[in-house]
Structure 1
Amino acid sequence: MIRSVVFDIGETLTSDTRYWADWARWLAIPTHTMSALVGAVVAQGRDNADAIRLIKPGCDVAAEWHARRTAGQDEYLDETDLYPDVRPALQRLRDAGLWVGVAGNQNHRVGDLLRGMKLPADAIGTSSEWGLAKPDRRFFDRVAEWAPGERHEIVYVGDHPANDITPGRAAGLRTAHLRRGPLGHLWADSPAVAAADWRAISLHDLADQLTSRPGGAVPAPSM
Structure 2
Amino acid sequence: MIDTIAFDIGETLTRDDRYWASWADWLGVPRHTLAALVGAVTAQGRDNADALRLLRPDIDLAHEYAAREAAGVGEQLGEQDLYDDVRPALSALRGLGVRVVVAGNQTVKAAQLLRALDLPADVVATSGEWGVAKPSPDFFARLIEVAQAAPQRILYVGDHPVNDIFPAGRAGLRTAHLRRGPWGHLWADDPEVTDAADWSIRSLTELTALVGE
TM-score between the two structures when normalised by the length of structure 1 = 0.93
In 1, distance between residues paired with 2:150 and 2:206?
A: 24
In 1, distance between residues paired with 2:79 and 2:106?
A: 17
Q: Paired residue for 1:105?
A: 105
Q: Paired residue for 1:218?
A: none
Structure 1 runs of 4+ off > 3 angstroms? none
Deviation at 1:193, TM superposition (A): 3.5
Deviation at 1:192, TM superposition (A): 2.5
Question: Unpaired runs of 5+ in structure 2?
Answer: none
Deviation at 1:207, TM superposition (A): 2.6
1:179-194 aligned at under 5 Å gives the runs 179-190=179-190, 191-194=192-195
Deviation at 1:168, TM superposition (A): 0.3
Letter in 2 for 1:148: Q
1:1-223 aligned at under 5 Å gives the runs 1-190=1-190, 191-208=192-209, 210-213=210-213
In 1, distance between residues paired with 2:32 and 2:206?
A: 30
In 2, distance between residues paired with 1:92 and 1:69?
A: 36
Deviation at 1:194, TM superposition (A): 2.7
C-alpha RMSD over aligned residues: 0.9
Give the aligned length.
212
In 2, distance between residues paired with 1:140 and 1:57?
A: 33
Cα distance per residue 1:127-158 (max 9 Å; x no partner): 00000100001000110111021110011110
Question: Unpaired runs of 5+ in structure 1?
Answer: 214-223
In 1, distance between residues paired with 2:211 and 2:45?
A: 34
What percentage of residue pairs aligned between the two structures are identical?
Answer: 59
Letter in 2 for 1:71: A
87-96 or 189-198, which deviates more: 189-198
